[in-house]
Structure 1
Amino acid sequence: MDLFPLTFPAIDPVLVEFGPLAIRWYGLAYLVGILAGWRYAVYLARLYGGRPTSSDVESLVLWVTFGIILGGRLGYVLFYQWEAYLQNPLSILAVWHGGMSFHGGLLGVTAAIVIFAWKRELPLLKLTDIVAPVVPIGLFFGRLANFINGELWGRVSDAPWAIVFPGAGDLPRHPSQLYEAFLEGLVLFIILAVLAHKPSIRRRPGMITGVFLLGYGLSRIAAELFREPDAFLGFLFGRLTMGQILSLPMVLLGILLILWGRIRASREPRRHPLANSIGQEERNRP
């Protein structure tokens, strides 16, 4: 008996309805990602010590939330469907119809963090190092919501786990949303969480931010090899997708931040272990 291709699980995109009010899986993914990320960022701020404090991080949450929504929406408009929205500008406000860009959201969050750090006189790279490990949490839940919505499906495939998505024709396709949830969400979160718990890495401002940018960029470029390009864009510059093009600067900036962190660490004076023990004896002397 041939069990393949798999049939898309019929999951209602609306989780709960109360009259005209509907709670969708996609909105719930944003809410859970922000709340879980907020608590983890507060924990990391305490782990790092000094400023930014956990209180600073809690104040940052609202800024980041606005950055995600405004940046994500404007990024989608500018990067993906500028001409369509130019003909009907008011539709830009209709966020409930979908259309959010991660790269736009990242730019929005970055702008929010830069302004917040400037207003509060906080070390910028230390703040981004606290925020970076949080992002994969939201990505994980967001990609799962994409799968539940049956959107952003993959390219046609004969893989045993390929799925026939509603609205995507009769051919089975890669569940590319799950690939992205695994790479951009789970794997990247584990890597960043491990690094964040290493004191030697925490002493290099910008290092974790660089690993995030590099890791996400490479994950997205790889996942786009299995994801169907947007029908209104198709392939650009040969076989590249918009997602791959927007991820390339992230890879380059990530490499630069990692190299800069390593160079700074190599230039820091290293105290001899004997000097450290003598200094400790001096502090302990009555």
Structure 2
Amino acid sequence: MQIFKKHTALIVSALLSAAHAQTSIGSVTSPSMPVISSPEIGSGFYAPGSILEKNFSGEKDSKNSSEEKKSAENEAAQKKEIQTEKARQLAAALTANDMSLLKNRGLSGDINSLIFSLSSSEGSYETNALLNKILAEIEKLKEDSKPSDTAAEKQIAAKTSEPEGIKKPARILRFSVNGYNILSTCRAIYISDVQLDGTFLVTGDRIYSSDGKKRTETFHILFKSCPGDDGISNYTAAVKVTQDFLNENSFLYQMSKSGEIQAMRVGNFVSVRTEDPGWKLELLIDLGEKQT
């Protein structure tokens, strides 16, 4: 029994000595876990791509927006410039009504002289070029003979320039494309005298509907004669069209882009017919008094 107590005392003493030694050397503590604080209100959380968007995307979008705005402004300015130029050209363009006014001022002889001198000149122009030259000269005539009294001019325009019964006037009897009646849309038509070489000019003002809107255009058709046998004269015809708004679906516009057109004259009648089933033109003109 005494031996057991002695051993127990030795074990307790050893344990106390070990504890005292550990305390003297210094205690070793386990590493603590880092503390993660909750985000403050308003600081936001990171989302993939958010930094890139803040630093780069916003700047890029702003740059693109600025360029697009500038491009839109340039495009709008160009459109305005084109519209202004078109309005100027339209105001200066020669119409059938202008031709009638010139005739009523006693200038039909001047118009005929211009047509004849240019069509019969040496080194005669190709038909389309001749048409452009004739119209340019008549436009000059129009500018040089502006009326001094608008009210009086309107009264003159309302009257016929020649007494009825003296001369049968030239007129268009039929004008259609693919069955569409172009003649019914014409509001004014001017047909010049037939020149000694057979050349003559037809000008028409028309109003028609396109996309639910009223549109206007003026057409000029110059017929240049190529005399044939048996009283038959062949013609080449050129067309020019002025529109208030570009409409490529207009039959007259398409006609002006088709190049020279062939026509035939028998007596007082000049006819144009095409055989293309997709674009069938029929034009018949009565020149009035027979020209010798």
Q: Give the TM-score category using the shorter length.
A: under 0.3
Higher relative contact order (CA 8 A, sep 6+): 1
* Bigger fraction of residues in helix: 1
* Bigger fraction of residues in strand: 2
Length-normalised TM-score, structure 1: 0.23
